[in-house]
């Protein structure tokens, strides 16, 4: 498409005047194409052509900054962060709706209006979807967006104008081709994310190692209330307008006319709304939407019923909570059965590629579920679930959502069978198969794994780096500050102070915490590496046995098996991990940062009487925390496990012991209280 020259035929003797005319022409053309793309979904020009127009406008506004207007199409990218969101009173209170899931309640609503209005008013209703997003008020003065306000308590909300300006479906200036613009317009709309956009956002977050959003409504509300509008601009928000709250300089007689006026002024409005005359028409609309609910690209939880005539509304008025002329006719919440919108693969800390189902949000046991693990490729094949399938959901142990089975749908064509990717979605490395699991072997070079490994490396039982949590680790990897574990020890305070969430003190504290860990217990370092099969106990055993990190790196499988508790499977896993060239290189880089390892005290000649003894702890002790006692026993060569078996030597039982005490007695395992423990340790108090 040839881009028209907005200055054709214009005397350009005055550069500023010519620029002003061209800016106005470009702005008007860009507003048209924004409306066609984001509201009518009917673009007329290519993205490249649009970008050319946009860049030309940006260049002119940069050359003549005094000509830049707030309603310019270029002013949607977001502004600098604010300290807080000020409170603003609504032009008209934004009341909630009385609601019910019962048709009888709708009949009673209709009968109340019949008694109140009599025969003088034709009783007809506008019915429209009840959108499940975040309600917002938009105010236009002289056709220009002046503010956007969250619903808040209905009387006062938060000023989110800068954030609203970034939403492409919200016109910065009202269109006037079909209808004159009013001097004042206050409208109510619903900010939301289309399900397809929400799924893409969640997929991107999971691929980046971030926690996905629970549902589109929460994601929308959070994006709308950001202090940094640039973050809002990066989220796929849409606003659908559906109610004129206040109007000056124009007249409307019905709600249906108001919806058509909003559309004429450039807003996205509900794609399905009808005017019906009775309860039967309301019920039919409700049934139709409920039937089509799973095929919509947005979340609804019912329909809204509004008296169409506006003048009688004012006479009916409102209670303190809701208008008397409207109500919501809710759907039954989805329970247990829902649809898989998309299947994608997430990458965990250990490199396991897990297929995950993104679901239409469904209530299971009082909790809204929007994603569920499909576990591994063999489980996925066994259940044969695909994108678009209707499935039954349960929460395993009332906690973890699982797809139980596919629910057959006669006559519905199914999607293609899902297959695991040929490369890691995070780093592109070809995965390997280990039993039923698909694994990315790029342990320290895969960004998704690195985020998890950083969190594990800094965890309490590993390097114990205070301040290195999931959010910070994700930030470091996303910004490229940490590309491997060794980079953690190269970070500087000045790199952190400019980051979100960091000040001078927090940056100094984190850098100090990291640097202190150059001197660390060998067992903690081993735990932090995340070696397969090596937990806290095995790491202590390895450190106590070899007393040298290089000795562990060079140890053969047979030498590893000489360590108490290390068998052939574990030794093979350790050796495979350490022999991986990428792992070896990452560890080399870590060692280059200059660690001094603290070794466990040597066992006294003749050995500790507790060496090799197996302990289980249950209940609460007065003189020790569980971690303190565990560490004390391990320093003396004992092993502390979590379950009682015939191999257990002692069970230490404090107050309120669990089932482990009963099992110990049934197996004849020796049980010690705190006094008996102190005698065993050779002291009446702490050893």
pLDDT for 520-567, tens place per residue? 999 999 999 999 888 888 888 899 889 889 999 999 999 999 987 788
In the predicted model, what is the mean pLDDT of residues 189-208? 85
This prediction has a pTM of 0.57
Q: Is the pLDDT of residue 365 over 80?
A: no
Nearest to 217 by CA among 360, 94, 341: 360
* The predicted structure's pLDDT at residue 683: 46
Least confident of 35-44, 125-134, 225-234: 35-44
In the chain, the domains with their CATH numbers are 15-67 (1.10.287.610), 99-330 (3.30.470.30), 338-442 (2.40.50.140), 447-517 (1.10.150.20), 522-598 (1.10.150.20), 614-680 (3.40.50.10190)
Give the residue, 548 or 10, on which the prediction is more confident: 548
State percent of the chain over pLDDT 90: 43
Burial of 582 (C-beta count, 10 Å sphere; 0-12/13-18/19+)? middle
Burial of 21 (C-beta count, 10 Å sphere; 0-12/13-18/19+)? middle
* The predicted structure's pLDDT at residue 10: 44
Nearest to 502 by CA among 518, 481, 524, 533: 481
Give the residue, 205 or 327, on which the prediction is more confident: 327
Please report, for residues 96, 132, 274, 359, the alpha-carbon distance to residue 294 in angstroms, rounded to integers and kept in the order given: 25, 14, 20, 11
Q: Is the pLDDT of residue 605 over 60?
A: no
In the predicted model, what is the mean pLDDT of residues 305-312? 94
* The predicted structure's pLDDT at residue 602: 64
Give the residue, 155 or 306, on which the prediction is more confident: 306
Q: Is the pLDDT of residue 512 over 80?
A: yes
Q: For all residues of the chain together, what is the average pLDDT?
A: 86
* The predicted structure's pLDDT at residue 366: 67
Phi and psi dihedrals of 66, rounded to 5?
Answer: -70, -15
CB-based burial, 534-552: b 16+ in 10 Å, e otherwise: bebbbbbbbbbbbeebeeb
Confidence of residue 265 (pLDDT cuts 50, 70, 90): very high
* The predicted structure's pLDDT at residue 516: 93
In the predicted model, what is the mean pLDDT of residues 400-418? 86
* The predicted structure's pLDDT at residue 293: 84
Confidence of residue 262 (pLDDT cuts 50, 70, 90): very high
In the predicted model, what is the mean pLDDT of residues 204-221? 78
Residues involved in catalysis: 130
pLDDT for 333-360, tens place per residue? 766 889 998 898 988 888 899 898 988 8
Q: Is the pLDDT of residue 41 over 70?
A: no
Please report, for residues 49, 149, 246, 266, the alpha-carbon distance to residue 92 in angstroms, rounded to integers and kept in the order given: 42, 12, 7, 22
In the predicted model, what is the mean pLDDT of residues 640-650? 87
* The predicted structure's pLDDT at residue 209: 64
Q: Is the pLDDT of residue 420 over 60?
A: yes
* The predicted structure's pLDDT at residue 171: 93
pLDDT for 492-501, tens place per residue? 999 998 887 7
Confidence of residue 681 (pLDDT cuts 50, 70, 90): confident
What letter does residue 682 receive in the DSSP assignment? Answer: T
Q: Is the pLDDT of residue 162 over 70?
A: yes
* The predicted structure's pLDDT at residue 13: 64
Q: Would strands 390-396 and 400-406 be described as parallel, antiparallel, or unpaired?
A: antiparallel
Token pair belonging to 559 = 């030498």
* The predicted structure's pLDDT at residue 80: 54
Residue 36: CB partners within 8 Å, gap ≥ 6? Answer: 42, 43, 44
* The predicted structure's pLDDT at residue 499: 85
Least confident of 226-230, 510-514, 576-580: 226-230
* The predicted structure's pLDDT at residue 9: 44
Q: Is the pLDDT of residue 419 over 70?
A: yes
Q: Would strands 596-598 and 519-521 be described as parallel, antiparallel, or unpaired?
A: parallel
Q: Is the pLDDT of residue 7 over 50?
A: no
Q: Is the pLDDT of residue 670 over 90?
A: yes
Least confident of 72-81, 102-111, 540-549: 72-81
- The top-scoring range by mean pLDDT among 202-206, 313-317, 369-373 is 313-317
User: For the chain, what is the radius of gyration of the CA atoms?
Assistant: 33
State percent of the chain over pLDDT 70: 92
């Amino acid at each position: 498409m040839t881009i028209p020259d907005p200055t054709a035929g214009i005397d350009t003797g005055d550069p500023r005047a010519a620029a002003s005319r061209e800016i106005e022409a470009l702005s008007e053309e860009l507003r048209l194409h924004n409306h066609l793309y984001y509201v009518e979904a009917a673009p007329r020009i290519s993205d490249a052509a649009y970008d050319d127009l946009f860049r030309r406008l940006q260049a002119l506004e940069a050359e003549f900054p005094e000509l830049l207007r707030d309603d310019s199409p270029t002013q949607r990218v977001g502004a600098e962060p604010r300290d807080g969101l000020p409170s603003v009173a609504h032009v008209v209170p934004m009341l909630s709706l009385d609601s019910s899931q019962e048709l009888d309640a709708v009949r009673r609503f209709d009968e109340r209006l019949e008694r109140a209005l009599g025969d003088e008013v034709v009783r007809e209703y506008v019915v429209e979807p009840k959108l499940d997003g975040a309600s917002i008020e938009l105010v236009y003065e002289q056709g220009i967006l002046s503010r956007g306000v969250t619903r808040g308590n209905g009387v006062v909300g938060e000023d989110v104008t800068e954030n609203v300006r970034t939403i492409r479906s919200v016109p910065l200036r009202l269109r006037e081709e079909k209808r004159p613009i009013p001097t004042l317009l206050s409208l109510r709309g619903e900010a939301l994310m289309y399900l397809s956009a929400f799924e893409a956002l969640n997929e991107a977050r999971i691929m980046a190692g971030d926690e996905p959003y629970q549902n589109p409504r929460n994601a929308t509300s959070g994006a709308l209330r950001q202090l940094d509008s640039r973050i809002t601009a990066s989220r796929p928000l849409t606003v659908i307008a559906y109610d004129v709250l206040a109007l000056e300089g124009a007249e409307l007689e019905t709600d249906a006319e108001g919806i058509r006026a909003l559309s004429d002024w450039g807003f996205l409005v509900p794609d399905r709304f009808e005017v019906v005359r009775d309860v039967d028409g309301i019920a039919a609309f409700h049934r139709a939407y409920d039937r089509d609910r799973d095929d919509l690209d947005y979340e609804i939880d019912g329909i809204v019923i509004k008296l169409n005539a506006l003048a009688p509304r004012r006479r009916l008025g409102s209670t303190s909570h809701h208008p008397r002329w409207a109500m919501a006719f809710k759907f039954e919440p989805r329970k247990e059965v829902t649809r898989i919108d998309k299947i994608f693969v997430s990458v965990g800390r250990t490199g396991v590629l897990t297929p995950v189902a993104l679901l239409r949000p469904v209530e299971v046991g009082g909790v809204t579920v929007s994603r569920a693990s499909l576990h591994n490729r063999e489980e996925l094949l066994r259940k044969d679930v695909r994108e678009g399938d209707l499935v039954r959901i349960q929460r395993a142990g009332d906690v973890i959502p699982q797809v139980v089975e596919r629910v057959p749908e006669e006559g519905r064509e199914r999607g293609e069978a899902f297959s695991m990717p040929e490369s890691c979605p995070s780093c592109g490395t070809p995965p390997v198969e280990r039993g039923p699991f698909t694994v990315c072997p790029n342990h320290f070079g895969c960004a998704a794994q690195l985020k998890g490994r950083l969190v594990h490396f800094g965890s309490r039982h590993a390097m114990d780096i205070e301040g290195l949590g999931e959010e910070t680790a994700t930030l470091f990897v996303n910004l490229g500050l940490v590309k491997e574990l060794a980079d953690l020890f190269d970070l500087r305070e000045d790199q952190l102070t400019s980051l979100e969430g960091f000040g001078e003190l927090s940056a100094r504290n984190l850098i100090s915490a990291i640097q202190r860990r150059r001197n660390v217990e060998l067992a903690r370092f081993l735990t932090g590496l995340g070696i397969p099969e090596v937990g806290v106990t095995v790491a202590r055993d390895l450190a106590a046995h070899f007393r040298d990190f290089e000795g562990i790196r060079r140890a053969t499988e047979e030498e590893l098996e000489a360590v108490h508790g290390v068998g052939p499977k574990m030794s093979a896993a350790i050796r495979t991990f350490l022999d991986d060239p990428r792992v070896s290189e990452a560890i080399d880089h870590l060692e280059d940062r200059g660690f001094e390892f603290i070794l466990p005290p040597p066992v006294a000649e003749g050995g500790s009487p507790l060496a090799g003894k197996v302990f289980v702890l249950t209940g609460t002790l007065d003189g020790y925390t569980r971690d303190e006692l565990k560490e004390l026993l391990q320093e003396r060569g004992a092993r502390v496990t979590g379950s009682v078996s015939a191999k257990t030597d002692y069970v230490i039982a404090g107050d309120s012991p669990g089932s482990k005490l009963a099992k110990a007695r049934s197996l004849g395992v020796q049980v010690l209280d705190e006094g008996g423990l102190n005698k065993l340790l050779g002291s009446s108090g702490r050893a």
